[in-house]
Structure 1
Amino acid sequence: MKPTGNTILITGGGSGIGQALARRFHALGNQVIVAGRRRDALDETIAGHDGMAAMVVDVEDPAAIATFADRLIADHPALNVVINNAGIMRSETLTGARDLADAEAMIVTNLLGPIRLTNALVDHLTRQPDPVIVNVTSGLAFVPMVSAPTYSATKAAIHSYTLSLRHQLHGQVEVIELAPPGVQTDLTPGQATRDMYMPLADYIDEVMGLFEQQPTPSEILVERVKMLRHAEAEGRFDQVMAGLNGAV
């Protein structure tokens, strides 16, 4: 991925990792469009950053995604990078029958949302110079957090989807996976102030250094997430699983 001169869409750009990435990519000389459900949050992201743009989209609505994609291409025909970052995380208890609304919302937002948006934009991207798709997964794609089973499962699914996407688009679109560890954001209540999570500024500094490498790694992995990413390959899965979730 070239570091500058891109036109970049970032979903979930109204807060957290998406917002921080948007501002840093903009500072490097890229045209950045942030997208999300809440116009006020998007406006906060772009405030004071001349040239950034914001567009509202509901990633849970397939018709809205299709309409959004058409409008995006019309307004920003040079679009060549898509960062599928929007996601939600909710805790769940699986020990009895329950309302599945939270599980279904996570599947739609975290899994179907990126698949649908990629589908809506892939024909455009394959015609662009230097096209890139970045899918944001999680360290929990590789070692699940048992209190967030559906969230972890959606991230594992997007990891698998990204591998297939990279294979099928080889030579046409560069496909990158960004797998964060726990980062101090508002993804879950109180997470932004928990000491055990990585400070957002430190995370983005390390991530941007990796994005600026040439060639760009196919997986953007800060040092802190490698324990999860490589646990199974290094024969440490059970140990890391117990450490993450507490021994049963």
Structure 2
Amino acid sequence: MKTTGNTILITGGSSGIGRALAEAFHALGNQVIISGRRANVLDEVTKANPGMASFVMDATDAADISAFADKVVAAYPALNAVINNAGIMKNEAIPSAPDYLAIAEETIATNLLAPIRLTAALLPHFLKQKNATVLTVSSGLAFVPMVATPTYSATKSAIHAYSLTLREQLKATPVEVIEIVPPYVQTTLQGEHQATDERAMPLEAFITEVMDILTNRPDEKEVVVERCKPLRFSVENGAFDKVFQMVNSIHA
């Protein structure tokens, strides 16, 4: 993927990894469009980054995603990249929580169905571009699940499988597929405490390493920072049980 000269849509771009990626690509001179549920929060980001644009989108609403894609393409016909970043992560106490199923369904809609729906809506446009990129955001938990977040971990495993197979199906087209695999990062994904947790990778360091990989290793299909490699390659390294215990002791 080239990291300049793009028109990039980033979902979940109002905070955390999404906002940090948006600002990194914006600083390189790309036209960046961010989306999220709350217009006032999106406005704060675009005001801080003149030239960045925003659209409201409900990631859980299939009809809204389709209409949103049409609006973005109409407003920015040069659109040639999407980063499917929007996601939620909630703990689930399966045996005892009465709201377990509701959490699971919301997580699947946001983390899995939304990226699939948005990619499907944008793909006809991307196939007409000289070069285009679909970027997905999975997680180290796609490879070593966290016991407290079974559905989140499952959706990220599914995103990994989706990315692999989509890449294979599109290999003869102008559209490339890149998967970004974050470790535990200092964001507010699970609350304010995560943003200052010393066990998590600082957000700035994560984004710096991701952008370095995208810039200097443009043929990389999985963007795996060093901090995440123990999880990503735990099976290959014969260390799955050890890493599983480590991950679930950190998040206990």
TM-score, normalisation: structure 1: 0.97
CA distance in 1, matches of 2:135, 2:205: 20
Please tell me the root mean square deviation across aligned C-alpha atoms, in Å: 1.4
Map of 1:213 onto structure 2: 216
Map of 1:197 onto structure 2: 200
Deviation at 1:95, TM superposition (A): 2.6
Map of 2:115 onto structure 1: 114
- For residue 227 of structure 2, the aligned residue among 224, 236, 241 is 224
CA deviation profile, 1:137-157 (whole Å, cap 9, x unmatched) = 000000000011110000000
Deviation at 1:98, TM superposition (A): 2.9
Deviation at 1:61, TM superposition (A): 0.4
Deviation at 1:72, TM superposition (A): 0.7
**Letter aligned with residue 44 of structure 1:** E
Between the two proteins, the alignment pairs up a number of residues equal to 248
1:160-171 paired onto structure 2 within 5 Å: 160-171=161-172
Name the SS of the counterpart of 2:216 in structure 1: coil
Map of 1:143 onto structure 2: 144
| Gap runs ≥5 in structure 1 | none
CA distance in 2, matches of 1:82, 1:234: 32
CA distance in 2, matches of 1:68, 1:97: 34
Map of 1:157 onto structure 2: 158
Deviation at 1:205, TM superposition (A): 0.8
Q: Does 1:242 align with 2:245?
A: yes
Map of 2:94 onto structure 1: 94
CA distance in 2, matches of 1:23, 1:192: 18
Name the SS of the counterpart of 1:86 in structure 2: coil
Map of 1:31 onto structure 2: 31
**Letter aligned with residue 28 of structure 2:** L
| Paired-residue identity, % | 56
Name the SS of the counterpart of 2:48 in structure 1: coil
Map of 1:180 onto structure 2: 182
Deviation at 1:214, TM superposition (A): 4.0
Map of 1:69 onto structure 2: 69
Structure 1 stretches (4+) deviating beyond 3 angstroms? none
Name the SS of the counterpart of 1:243 in structure 2: helix
CA deviation profile, 1:68-109 (whole Å, cap 9, x unmatched) = 011111000000001000000000112346321111100000
**Letter aligned with residue 171 of structure 1:** A
Distance 1:69 1:94, change over 3 A: same
Name the SS of the counterpart of 1:246 in structure 2: helix
Deviation at 1:51, TM superposition (A): 1.6
CA distance in 1, matches of 2:152, 2:222: 20
Contact 1:177 1:219 in 2 (8 A): yes
Contact 1:210 1:216 in 2 (8 A): no
TM-score, normalisation: structure 2: 0.95
CA deviation profile, 1:196-234 (whole Å, cap 9, x unmatched) = 001111111111101102433100111000000000111
